[in-house]
């Protein structure tokens, strides 16, 4: 029997018109109110991705000049954590 793993990215858009300033405000909010430590950062000209662990879930906050600010995970099992955290960040 062969096991198949899916490596799709699951995301929740926080703001389609989000700016770079909003991205940095959200990273500050995550670190101050949710006590998140960022474990990896990928900064490019049109795309920024910061990885972190939140309550045992590996997540990523992304800013893209075309799609705005979103919260993502590569594990489909973490989608509920993405949705809950995105709802808290949107307030």
Q: What is the pLDDT of residue 69?
A: 95
Q: Using pLDDT thresholds of 50, 70 and 90, give the confidence band for residue 8.
A: low
Please determine, for residue 70, whether its predicted confidence score (pLDDT) is greater than 80. yes
| Cα gap 67→75, rounded to integer Å | 21
| Mean pLDDT (whole number) for 3-11 | 58
Q: What is the pLDDT of residue 7?
A: 47
Q: What is the pLDDT of residues 12-64, one digit of tens each?
A: 999 999 999 999 999 999 999 999 999 999 999 899 999 999 999 999 999 99
Q: Work out the burial of residue 21: count CB atoms within 10 Å of its CB; fewer than 13 is exposed, 13-18 middle, 19 or more buried.
A: exposed
DSSP symbol at 84:
H
Instruction: Walk me through the domains of the chain, giving residue ranges and CATH numbers.
Output: 10-90 (3.30.160.690)
Q: How far is CA 57 from CA 73, 77, 78, in A?
A: 8, 9, 6
DSSP symbol at 13:
E
């Amino acid at each position: 029997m062969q096991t198949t793993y899916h490596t799709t990215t699951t995301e929740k858009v926080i703001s389609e018109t989000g700016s770079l300033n909003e991205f940095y405000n959200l990273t500050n909010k995550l670190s101050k109110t949710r006590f998140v430590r960022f474990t990896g950062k990928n900064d490019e000209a049109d795309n920024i991705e910061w990885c972190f662990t939140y309550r045992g879930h590996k997540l990523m906050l992304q800013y893209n000049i075309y799609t705005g600010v979103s919260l993502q995970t590569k594990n489909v099992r973490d989608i509920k954590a993405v949705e809950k955290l995105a709802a808290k960040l949107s307030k």
